[in-house]
Structure 1
Amino acid sequence: MKLFKKIFKIFLLVVVLLFVGVWLFTKTLHPTYNGELELANISDKVTVYYDEVGVPHINAQNQQDAYTALGYVHAQDRLWQMELIRRIAAGRLAEVFGKELVRTDKFFSGLGIEEAASKTIQNLDKNSEAYKMTEAYLNGINQFIDEGAKPLEFYLVGLDKEKYTVKDVYNVFGYMAFSFAVAHKTDPMLTEIKEKLGEVYFNELNGASTENLTLIKNQKNPEIKAEFAKAMNNLLDKLPISPFIGSNSWVLGPEKTKNGKVIFANDPHIGFSQPSVWYQSHIKTPNYEMYGFNLALTPFPLLGHNRNYAYGLTMFENDDVDFYYEENNPNNSLEYKTPQGYQKYKLIDKTIKVKGGADTTYQVKVSKHGPVMNGLIDFIEDERPIAMQWIYTKLENQLLDVSYKMSHAKSLSDFKVGASKLHAPGLNIMYGDAKDNIAWFASGKLYKYRDSLNTKVILDGASGKDEIVEWIDFEENPQAINPDWNYVYSANNQPDSIAGVLYPGYYLPEDRAKRIEYLLEDKNDWTKFDVSEMINDVTSPVAPENIMKIAKDIDVTQLTASEKKAFNILKNWDGHYGKKKVAPVIYTRLWYEFVKNTFKDEMGDAFEQFVNTPFEEKVVAAQVRKDNSVWWDDISTKEKETKQDVVNKSFQNTIAFLQKQLGENVDGWYWKRVTTVEYEHAIGKAGGLLRKFFNVGPFETNGGDQVINNQIYKIDSTGYYKIIAGPSTRRIIDFSDVENSITILPTGQSGNVFSEHYKDQAEKYVNGDFVKMNLNQSDIEKSENKLVFLPKK
């Protein structure tokens, strides 16, 4: 018995020592928000005040010192995020996660992002302020790598810290630009439909892109002072970093606000993840100030404001990716046909390092249009070489100058110069200032093809007939400066004209745009509080219209009591996606059944690539309005089905499914029972204890797809809607009270799981609340957390 007690005491001592050791080790991984640190390459003391949500307010005597400090504090909160995002374009995720990411690495490393970055860096003006501030920022990051704590994630995956260069910054720009593109999800699918089903089926689908449009209006006034697609989706689904998806922004002129000053609102829609996409910081020097939102590894904010002006963005959704069928030389597969004869493909050898496995080597074939996708994406059954032409890698890259200029502008005219330099990705850049100017610029390098060319299908690369014939001057890009309707906005919807025509793109449905216009149009006494309510609005103006179009074809006399009750709830719905609303549950399931019963029989496997795309949403809004359509007939039956057949079958299937899923009581089919949001960490995706430790959530939340508070989910056979994307931040800047402007992040400011700011905004976010963006120096200096950087001796 004594021996047992002795062994137990020893065991207990070991457990206690182990626990204490782990606790002490984790204490070394916490970010440093207080005290003094020495920093090389700064000329004077830099003071960083951390506010109540962990935003660093950086006070420095010059911008060089400020950006060095920014790099350091950004890295200590977000180094893991920086490490992942820099690896995507370089094809280096398999080094961290193993062979499962080899296909993704192969695709991204073959796009030419790194090659384009190298070419850009060679031509950079090393004496420019943008370059010098970028080097200072990277220097701060690298000092943290040398002296700061290695993040827990690095230990868990066995990763060593590695210093950063300007090339990593451009790799981030490249990934951002690619994630904005939509053509790779749509063009191959439409090509397959056209080739396999014919022009009639194709034309009905393609025509939907020019129906039911809420157009962004142009006006300039003076300044006041399918296999392919399936493979693509599979690759992108594995990415540990969020893709960019949509966004809202509106800027109200002084005539529209109660206090007679501009109010600016912006909420970019990006895939949810942990940590949050944006990192906030406030830089102040004697001659410069900016409260900004930075992507990982980007020195200059893409969203920002100060006392003089505010700016933000939404995705333009223009078409800047085109695919071409190349024609190989029948006697030499290393050559392809051009109007001038056969040319040799450029060959680039690539190697992917794989954690726990042998290196993978492969070769990229590049035509004059771009890399050949057949060698980069597995499962492309088409034997014809398909090359991808992407404006991002085709033209000069000035993104560093664009982001620097926007964050350092002195006037609206100065800001416009920065916006005009953007070639890709296409962005709607929004602007408002203290001098009562408001503006919207659809930025990106636009171009024309011959009039009859349909760019939504794969083009002919051999004939020379499908080439770009004209580049459009920026002054012809859609834009509005101080328009006489006194507001500007964007919800990724179609601009009304570019060089006299509707410019091709992958614009999102009109739902959010229509709601924004409806709410803004007649009200002229907007306040910050009103705008905060609007940015959380969850009412769809289009869903009730769709329901009325469907309802007229439902045979009510054949419905059961439960079906009639559900029908009446649906028919009387105002489009509001509240947690305890029943109608959104019925509508969303009915949407799925309607799409499946209309399109799946003809599309086959391509159906899975069709659903859950912006294109599908526009097609369905057009389809419900059609009495006659080639798509109504179910080709798998002998009978010829009508719209009424499809609608009634879809409604009956919907109710039967929901009764099985949620029970017989229709009144209990609450929206909150089928929707949740969880912010997933790349390691938390493994599940179990790691999920609980790293992920944030799950939470109930208001909102639905294509409402202003856009909660984006995939609609499939399960009947549950896991929200995967939404507002990556909400920001409201009121120039009548700029020091009390407000914002919110989905989770928190820090990506360090041991930080108190890892998830301290999460519940506020799902509740629609905000936190202050502090510009008042006296308030900032009251902070409990103060980190001082001293020049290293």
Structure 2
Amino acid sequence: MKKLKKIVGVVLLLFVILALAVVGYGYFLKPKYDGEVVLNAIQKETTVYFDEYGIPHIYAQSQKDAMTTLGYVHAQDRLWQMELMRRIAPGRLSEIFGSVMLKNDKFFAGLGLNEDSEKAIAQLDKNSESYQLTLAYLEGVNQFLEDGPTPIEFQLVGVQKEKFTIKDVYNIFGYMAFSFAMAQKTDPLLTDIRDELGMEYLKDFGIDGSLAHTQLKSFKGKSEAYSKISKSVTSLLENSPIPPFIGSNSWVVGPQKTKCGKVLFANDPHIGFSQPATWYEAHIVTPDYEMYGYYLAGTPFPLLGHNREYAYGLTMFENDDMDLFLETNNPENENQYQTSEGFKNYQLSEKTIKVKDSTNVVLKIKKSHHGPLMNGLVEGLANDKPISMWWTYLQHKNQILDAVYALSHAKNLEHFHQSIELIAAPGLNIMYGDAKGNIAWITSGKLYKMPDNVNANFILDGSNGKDEQKEYYDFSENPYAINPDWKYVYSSNNQVEPMGDYLYPGYYLPEDRAKRIVQLLEPKNDWTKEDFMKMINDDQSSVAPSIVQNILKGIAQKSLSDTEKAAIAQLQKWNGNNGLNEIAPTIYNQFLYHYLQNTFEDELGKDRFAILLNTHIMKQMIAFQIANETSPWWDNKTTSDKTETRKDILTRSFQQTISHLNQKLGNQVSGWTWNKVHTVEHKHPLGEVAALRSYFNVGPFEINGSNEVINNLMFTFTEAGNHQVKAGPSTRRIIDFSDIENSVSILPTGQSGNPLSEHYKDQAELYNQGKFRKMKMNKKEIEGSSRKLVFKPR
């Protein structure tokens, strides 16, 4: 017995020692929020106060010291995210994840973002403040990289540490710009439809056939190779460890429409959800500068920000800034292609992609004067049908670093407006409000007009020299509204009115959110911050109820079952709300999937139908197509003995919806609540490993909202009807210029990307409940509620 007790005691002691070791190791890996750190590159002592949500408030004697400190604290919370972000554009994810990321690496390595970054850096003014402050930021990042603890992800995956450079900064901005583009997802699909089915089938998509006088020759047989571009690029972005930018809302109300007599500003950029979340918040204060900003991992200047003088934010413009060209090879030399001036040589190059635990892959790249060939970069394209990608971002001088610096250092509205001209791509709606009562909406991007006989919604002819002609507009002709008579500005990725007589082509989202924003803003003239807090969480659709009425009119309602009658009753009384306990959204969204499948899949096939579900154009056309009794899409091509009508398709879709929900949620319609099917989980790349999921991922949570409501929590329609949210507000920000120190915000999960930090997910419940926390700017309040970390110069 004594021997047994001794053995048990030894085992318990070993267990305690192991537990203490794990706790101690975990404590060592956590971000440091108090104490002292020697920071080599700063000139004077700098103090950082971390508030109760881990937001750093940096008080420094110079902007350079502040930026070095920012780099250090940013890295200690987000080094893993920084590492992933900088690897996407040059095609270096396979080095750490292996061949599972090889498709991503081939595409982005071949796209040419890394080379564009090198070119842009060579043209920089090395004495400029933007350049010098960027180097200071990188000094801080690299000191943490060298001296700080290695993130647990680095250890699990086996990442070798490398210093960050200014090229990494440009590559991160480049990937961000690419993720905005929609042409590569949409144009190949529309080209397939045109070539196989005819322009008649595109009327429901808003494509004006009169623009398509010059027809691109179809491939022999089915032109499925076109849509493989769409399929591949969609898959690459969805499977990227850093999600794409998608949409956004913003509105700014002038003093005449607020109770306080000052500007109110709201912004919620819509981005694919991930863990850690997209934005890192930081508040910088120096004798000559203050900014409360939102930063992408690995970048020195905020894309969203405010101070006591002005606030700015962004949404996606959704203009078309990318074209695909079908090149014609020289039949006697595959390394030459046809132009209007004769045959030219392709630009040939090779890149080596390192693959973890496998042999390196040599990527052969061809470029025409339009851009890189997609053949070899995406799967399924035949080499004798070369398709190149022309993209504004790669065709014009890249001044993105200076542009983002200028936005965060604007002297006044005029200076702010002028700085936007530096952004050739991506197209953005940049929103502005200030303490003087000014409000503005200004679009960025190098806008152009195509020839009248060229429709940029299709793959263009690369050989004739005509389809590539572009008439560039002066920046003064970019759409904008500054202090308009109606006293507010807004943006929700909707089609904008042209400054002149040309409607800028693009991949705009439907009117739903824009219409709802105007419905709420227009009649009210006493807006408060609290009103904005409620409005930014609004989940009522302005369009869905009218779509429902068209659906109900089209359904054959004879011999309905009791369950079907109960479902119709729910739809009839629905006002478009998407709250957790609502029943109608469950029925409506399940119906939309069956309607879309029954309408489009027979013509498109499974793969191209899946592509359609991931495009903006699908969202755009639902309201119009579902009301069009003469649409050619209604007839099911697989039933040769019958010509289906709108009523046939809508009735069948409704019956399938009820049958599905009966099986999934039971036969009581009262139990078909939205919370049972609409959920969100914020996924970490390592959370794909089942054993690590609960440690790295945040959620899942039931959540309200839906597609194309202001609280835009987005999902892709699926037959299973598990509406798993993929994207949504990456932050909700409200700036009140009558009480700037009590402006509010929220992040989807937390400030830190370190799973051992208490700030890894401490905002998730607040976010899901539509609540906010203060963006503190009052120094006394910050000092009284924060931990203090002092950085001392060497």
Letter aligned with residue 462 of structure 1: S
Distance 1:18 1:499 in 2: 72
Partner of 2:655: 652
2:781 equivalent among 775, 779, 782: 779
1:682 aligns with 2:685: yes
Partner of 1:522: 523
For residue 10 of structure 1, report the CA deviation from its aligned partner: 4.1
Partner of 1:617: 619
2:673 equivalent among 661, 670, 673: 670
Q: Trace 1:268-667 onto structure 2 (pairs within 5 A).
A: 268-381=269-382, 383-604=384-605, 605-637=607-639, 638-667=641-670
CA contact (8 A) 1:209 1:619 kept: no
Q: Give SS of 1:248's match.
A: strand
Distance 1:203 1:476 in 2: 29
Distance 1:41 1:93 in 2: 31
Distance 2:461 2:371 in 1: 14
For residue 8 of structure 1, report the CA deviation from its aligned partner: 4.5
CA contact (8 A) 1:447 1:468 kept: no
Distance 1:574 1:363 in 2: 55
Partner of 1:749: 751
Partner of 1:26: 26
Q: Give SS of 1:558's match.
A: coil
For residue 36 of structure 1, report the CA deviation from its aligned partner: 1.1
Instruction: Tell me: CA distance 1:95–1:483, structure 2 relative to 1, closer, same or farther (3 Å).
Output: same
Distance 1:512 1:397 in 2: 32
CA contact (8 A) 1:89 1:172 kept: yes
1:251 aligns with 2:252: yes
Distance 2:383 2:287 in 1: 61
CA contact (8 A) 1:477 1:499 kept: no
Letter aligned with residue 65 of structure 1: D
CA contact (8 A) 1:261 1:734 kept: yes
For residue 54 of structure 1, report the CA deviation from its aligned partner: 0.7
Letter aligned with residue 704 of structure 1: S
Cα-Cα RMSD:
1.4
TM-score by length of structure 1 reads 0.96
For residue 681 of structure 1, report the CA deviation from its aligned partner: 0.7
| Identical counterparts, % of pairs | 56
Deviations 1:139-184 (A, max 9, x none): 1000111111111111111112211000000000110000000111
Distance 1:233 1:334 in 2: 29
Deviations 1:60-109 (A, max 9, x none): 11101000000000000000000000000010111111111011100011
Q: Give SS of 1:270's match.
A: strand
Deviations 1:533-580 (A, max 9, x none): 000000001000101111111222231111111111112110000101
Q: Give SS of 2:441's match.
A: strand
CA contact (8 A) 1:227 1:381 kept: no
Distance 1:125 1:407 in 2: 19
Number of aligned residue pairs: 776
Distance 1:430 1:782 in 2: 33
Partner of 2:738: 736
Letter aligned with residue 666 of structure 1: V
Deviations 1:190-248 (A, max 9, x none): 111111112221343343999xxxxxxxxxxxxxxx22211222222221112100000
Q: Give SS of 1:314's match.
A: strand
1:56 aligns with 2:56: yes
CA contact (8 A) 1:55 1:281 kept: yes
Letter aligned with residue 482 of structure 2: I
Distance 2:645 2:114 in 1: 52
Partner of 2:167: 167
CA contact (8 A) 2:507 2:616 kept: yes
Letter aligned with residue 713 of structure 2: Q
Distance 1:260 1:388 in 2: 49
Letter aligned with residue 412 of structure 1: L
CA contact (8 A) 2:329 2:384 kept: no
What residue ranges of structure 1 are gaps of 5+ in the alignment?
211-225
Q: Give SS of 2:134's match.
A: helix
For residue 4 of structure 1, report the CA deviation from its aligned partner: 5.5
Deviations 1:99-133 (A, max 9, x none): 11011100011111001000000010000000000
Q: Give SS of 2:608's match.
A: helix
For residue 7 of structure 1, report the CA deviation from its aligned partner: 4.8
Distance 1:19 1:778 in 2: 40
Deviations 1:416-451 (A, max 9, x none): 111121111111000000000000011111111101
Deviations 1:343-390 (A, max 9, x none): 111112111111111111111101100000011011225841000001
Partner of 2:146: 146
TM-score by length of structure 2 reads 0.96
Distance 2:536 2:644 in 1: 43
Distance 2:553 2:118 in 1: 60
Distance 2:148 2:83 in 1: 15
Distance 2:91 2:786 in 1: 42
Q: Give SS of 1:268's match.
A: strand
Q: Give SS of 2:464's match.
A: coil
CA contact (8 A) 2:635 2:644 kept: yes
Partner of 2:118: 118
Partner of 2:214: none
For residue 13 of structure 1, report the CA deviation from its aligned partner: 3.5
Partner of 1:709: 711
Distance 2:22 2:793 in 1: 33
For residue 6 of structure 1, report the CA deviation from its aligned partner: 5.0
CA contact (8 A) 2:237 2:243 kept: no
Letter aligned with residue 291 of structure 2: M
For residue 646 of structure 1, report the CA deviation from its aligned partner: 0.9
Letter aligned with residue 681 of structure 1: H
For residue 17 of structure 1, report the CA deviation from its aligned partner: 2.6
Partner of 2:793: 791
CA contact (8 A) 1:321 1:388 kept: yes
CA contact (8 A) 1:209 1:618 kept: no
Distance 1:714 1:203 in 2: 24
Partner of 2:89: 89
Distance 1:444 1:710 in 2: 25
Distance 1:516 1:336 in 2: 49
CA contact (8 A) 1:64 1:133 kept: yes
Q: Give SS of 2:634's match.
A: coil
Letter aligned with residue 484 of structure 2: P
CA contact (8 A) 1:318 1:505 kept: yes
Letter aligned with residue 686 of structure 1: V
For residue 394 of structure 1, report the CA deviation from its aligned partner: 0.8
For residue 3 of structure 1, report the CA deviation from its aligned partner: 5.9
Distance 1:428 1:237 in 2: 24
Of 565-574 and 304-313, more deviation after overlay is shown by 565-574
Q: Give SS of 1:429's match.
A: strand
Partner of 1:242: 243
Distance 1:116 1:790 in 2: 37
Letter aligned with residue 29 of structure 1: L
Q: Give SS of 1:28's match.
A: helix
For residue 501 of structure 1, report the CA deviation from its aligned partner: 1.6
Q: Give SS of 2:705's match.
A: coil
Distance 1:632 1:411 in 2: 55
Of 382-391 and 240-249, more deviation after overlay is shown by 382-391
Letter aligned with residue 752 of structure 2: S
Partner of 1:69: 69
Letter aligned with residue 152 of structure 2: L
Distance 1:13 1:780 in 2: 43
